[in-house]
Amino acid sequence: MLFWQMAWRNVWRYRRRTLLTVLTIALGLAFGILMRGIGDGFHEQMVDNSVRAEIGHLQLHLRGYHRDPSLQKTLPDATLVEQAIRQTPHLLGYSMRVLGDGLASTADNSAGVAVVGIVPEMERTVTTINRAIVAGRYLDQGMNRPILIGERLSQTLDARLDDKLVLMVQAADGSMGGQLFRVAGIFRSGSPELDRGVVYILRTDAQSLYSLDSRLTEAALLLDSSESVEPARRFLAARLSSAPVEILPWYVVAPFLEQFIELDDAFFYIIVVILFFVISVGILNTVMMSVFERVREFGVMMALGTRPRQVVRLVIQEAVVISLAGAVLGSLLGSGSTLLVESTGIDLSRWAAGASAVGITATVIHPTLTFANLAASNLAVVLVVLLVAFYPAIRASRLRPVEALRHV
Amino acid sequence: MALVELSDVSKTYFDHVPVRALSGINLDLERGAFAATVGPSGSGKTTLLNLVGGLDRPDTGSVRIAGLDISTASPAALAEFRLRHLGFVFQSFNLFPVLSVMENLEFVPALKGTPKAERVRRAEALLELAGLADLRRKRPDELSGGQQQRVAVLRAILPEPDLVLADEPTANLDSENATLLLDMMERLNKERAVTFLFSTHDPAVMRRARRLIRLKDGRLADGVEPDGLEP
């Protein structure tokens, strides 16, 4: 206890220097917390956008479909699969689809497209494609062979609302066939891939087009959050253990998202390492000065019987006091600024066009403050300070009392 | 058996050129002694105290205190030995500036693991004895030089060491404060049998010492007075 008292009072002997060091730590920590919050918010929004635009949190196919998609690989016993999906924990919605590809043609142009056959009411519980319509309307079971096309595809094909469009496909039985559709709506999802190369038709029309009868190729699930993916996946895996299905999380379906997040995290950690390095030099300077200004005092302590490890402890305790003060202040600043920006959001719409070109569709970032972020940032700061303080502490403990006592 | 036994102790420092600080010292100091090493500057007084205090090591010979040869002990073992057996009083007082008088007195007992209540009880009794009870909550920078040095002596004797080493304890004090300090140390020596070994230039200390160890050019000079002489 006496050592803690000494540590506390020693730290405040040089009030201005200590305050500057505490402020340096606090600002570094606050910056780290805010940047992590922005990063987490950005990633969460990216994932949410992608999940809500197309892929869902989980997808189910016949085993092997994801690696090599084919119309021959339809979901086995779709009724059993749908029953299991309905009981999945954290489920918000699901869509049972038919996926295929083909050639979309108008009188003048044609383009290769991915065809998604959906039940409109089911699909709107998973994706937001119904809200992305910029001309015309969303699909309706009452329409006659309606088709939704992306804004870019409409430009490529020079297809407008109510225009006729032929889909040429190779059916599941190998035969070639084509059907006439009418453009019911044009969507702008923000995803270049979707807007350029995906069309939506009614599921029954797709089953007819591909000669699939009532067979389906994919089920997509929307869950209440990304954290629910694993428990939901485990549940489905247990329920469908006897069926030859693959249950794929979003990060397997869209690995580029995961890879982008990992890359972005790597950049963040590089910045944090540089930042902590700069901070640690400042702290090292403070602790070194504090030790070398008190060489004689350490000499007296040692002469009176203080053991070398107790000298190390005292210097480390002083660093702990400084780092905790910095951590508390930094946490308040970092949490406060994150919460402040969380409510207003950071508007990146000025750069949105460029970002969406590479698949980043989040335009207003809402940073998120998590306990894990706060705890990890604080732990990192305290560890860095302790690590930095260790060298001067060892130096102090190795002083020879007879020389330290002569120190002026 | 003598409390302190130095046998053929030599010490040389290297400061560009070798400087022989002590040479062939053989010395015994009995328990309860009130002794002073005296001699001109550079005669080896402080070096002798440093060796006896385990703050430095001899090049040759051995230093035994309370039966233990401290010449070959590790730094940690020496620290432990100083904690258990020695007390120090420095020329420049060297109280810890961030601790109050009471906390300075508690420092060594706290290192030894003495319970708080016991530390406080003993410190208050000593402060009372030394007439410094009113200063218990003051910080060193609020005390005069004389008061600081008296507190330093109390800090040295509170853990009841076998030996107190005092390096020029009166050098920074006026004659009145020096007298007060010497009175206190003499009383502690007589009443509590605390052994004192000083290094000093101060005639007042020499007059009070019951044994003078004269050093000249790092050697014991003739005329070492035996212990037991009353001043």
Task: Express each pLDDT in A91-148 by its tens digit.
Answer: 999 999 999 999 999 988 999 999 999 999 999 999 989 999 999 999 998 889 999 9
Secondary structure, 3-state, A283-296: HHHHHHHHHHCCHH
Instruction: Please say if the pLDDT value at position B227 is more than 50.
Output: no
Q: Is B59 on the interface with A (CB under 8 A)?
A: no
C-alpha A349/C-alpha A247 separation (Å) is 35
pLDDT tens for A284-319 read 888 899 999 999 999 999 999 999 999 999 999 999
Start-to-end CA distance of chain A, whole Å, equals 29
Is B98 in contact with A6 (Cβ distance < 8 A)?
yes
Nearest to B76 among A5, A9, A308 (CB): A308
Give the three-class secondary structure for A127: coil
CA A316 to chain centre: 37
> With an 8 Å Cβ cutoff, are B55 and A300 in contact?
no
- SS3 label, residue A274: helix
Q: What whole-number percentage of chain A has pLDDT above 70?
A: 96
Chain A residues whose C-beta sits inside 8 Å of any chain B C-beta:
1-2, 5-6, 9-10, 13, 296-297, 300-310, 400-402, 405
pLDDT band at residue A170, thresholds of 50, 70 and 90? very high
Q: To which H or E segment does residue A93 belong?
A: strand A91-105
- pLDDT above 70 covers a percentage of chain B that reads 95
Give B20's strand partners.
B12
**Interchain contact, A300 vs B76, CB within 8 Å:** no
What confidence score (pLDDT) does residue A92 get? Answer: 95
Is B226 an 8 Å CB contact of chain A? no
Cβ-Cβ contacts under 8 Å, B106 against chain A: 2
Enumerate residues 6+ apart whose C-beta is below 8 A from A364: A345, A346, A347, A348, A349
Please tell me which residue, B55 or A360, carries the higher pLDDT value.
B55
Contacts of A309 in chain B (CB under 8 A): 76
CA distance B204 to A215: 113
Chain A hits for B76, Cβ within 8 Å? 307-309
Q: Judge whether B53 is closer than 8 Å to chain A, CB to CB.
A: yes
Query: Which pLDDT belongs to residue B185?
Result: 86
Output A50 or B98, whichever has higher pLDDT. Answer: B98
The sign of the dihedral angle between the CA atoms of A191, A195, A197, A202 is positive
Q: One-letter amino acid identity for A22?
A: V
Q: Quote the strand ranges of A308-366, DSSP E.
A: 346-347, 364-365
Q: Is the pLDDT of residue A260 over 50?
A: yes
ipTM of the predicted structure?
Answer: 0.88
CB-based contacts of A335, cutoff 8 Å, min separation 6:
A33, A369, A374
Size of chain A, expressed as the number of residues it contains: 408
Mean pLDDT along residues A243-255? 91
Buried/exposed B66-88: b ≥16 CB within 10 Å, e otherwise: beeebbebebeebbbbbbebbbb
Backbone angles phi, psi at A127, to 5 degrees: -110, 170
pLDDT bin (cut points 50, 70, 90) of residue B228 is very low
Main-chain dihedrals φ then ψ at residue A218, nearest 5 degrees: -150, 145
Least confident of A32-36, A70-74, A345-349: A345-349
- Distances in Å between the alpha carbon of B141 and those of A24, A63, A87, B95? 31, 81, 76, 9
pTM: 0.74
Which residues from chain A sit within 8 angstroms of residue B105, using beta carbons? Answer: none
In this structure, what token pair is assigned to residue A309? Answer: 């490890």
In this complex, the residue of B80, B98, B111 whose CB is nearest that of residue A9 is: B98
Digit-coded pLDDT (tens) for B7-28: 999 999 887 888 889 999 999 9
* CA-based nearest distance B118→chain A, Å: 15
Q: How far is A34 from chain B (nearest CA, A)?
A: 38
pLDDT band at A255 (very low <50, low <70, confident <90, very high): confident
* Mean pLDDT of the region B30-50: 91
Smallest Cα–Cα separation from B132: which of B168, B159, B165, B105?
Answer: B105
Mutate: best of A10, A12, A294, A300, partner B, most B CBs <10 A: A300
CB contact under 8 A, A304 and B107: yes
Mutate to test the interface with B, among A402, A406, A407 (most CBs of B within 10 A): A402
Residue A225 has pLDDT above 80, yes or no: yes
Would you place residue B231 in the very low, low, confident or very high pLDDT band (cuts 50, 70, 90)? very low
Is the CB of B88 less than 8 angstroms away from the CB of A302?
A: no
| Sheet strands (E) in B102-192 | 163-167
Chain segment A381-396, per-residue pLDDT in tens: 888 888 999 999 999 9
**Among residues B149, B88, B81, which one has the least CA distance to residue B112?**
B81
**Residue B69 in 3-state DSSP?**
strand
Compute the distance between CA of residue B57 and CA of residue B47 in angstroms, rounded to an integer.
10
* CA–CA dist B63, B8 (Å, integer): 9
Count of residues in chain B: 231
CA atoms within 13 A on the CB side of B218: 15
End-to-end CA distance of chain B: 24
pLDDT at B229 over 50: no
Instruction: Give me the residue from A10, A303, A308 closest to B55, CB to CB.
Output: A303
pLDDT band for position A359 (50/70/90)?
low
The residue type of B164 is V
pLDDT score for A367? 87
Tell me the average pLDDT of chain A: 90
All residues of chain A having their beta carbon less than 8 Å from the beta carbon of residue B44 are: none
Six token digits for residue B188: 């502690």
* Tokens read off for A282: 């400042």
DSSP code for B140: G
Determine the average pLDDT of the residues in A327-340.
93
* pLDDT at residue B17 in the model: 87
Residue B38, chain A, CB below 8 Å: the answer is: no
Mutate to test the interface with B, among A304, A306, A313, A397 (most CBs of B within 10 A): A304
* Predicted confidence (pLDDT) at residue A358 exceeds the cutoff of 60: no
How close A270 comes to chain B (CA, Å)? 41
Per the DSSP assignment, residues forming a β-bridge with A133 are A187
| pLDDT one-digit tens code per residue, B50-70 | 999 988 889 999 999 888 888
Q: What share of chain B is helix, strand, coil (3-state, %, to 5)?
A: 40, 25, 35
Interface test with B, best of A1, A2, A298 (most B CBs within 10 A): A2
Q: Which of residues 105-124 of B touch A (CB under 8 A)?
A: 106-108, 110-112
Mean pLDDT of B170-186: 85
- Scanning B72-101 for CB atoms below 8 A from A yields 75-76, 79-80, 82-84, 86, 88, 90, 94, 96-99
Mean pLDDT of B139-166: 91
Q: Distances in Å between the alpha carbon of A247 and those of A57, A219, A230, A286?
A: 10, 9, 11, 55
Residue matched to tokens 């039966």 = B67
Predicted confidence (pLDDT) at residue A336 exceeds the cutoff of 90: yes
**Which residues on adjacent β-strands are paired with residue A101?**
A114
Contacts of B139 in chain A (CB under 8 A): none
Strands (E), chain B: 4-15, 17-29, 34-38, 60-65, 68-69, 86-89, 163-167, 195-200, 211-216, 219-220
Cβ atoms within 10 Å, residue A75: 24
Q: Give the three-class secondary structure for A352.
A: helix
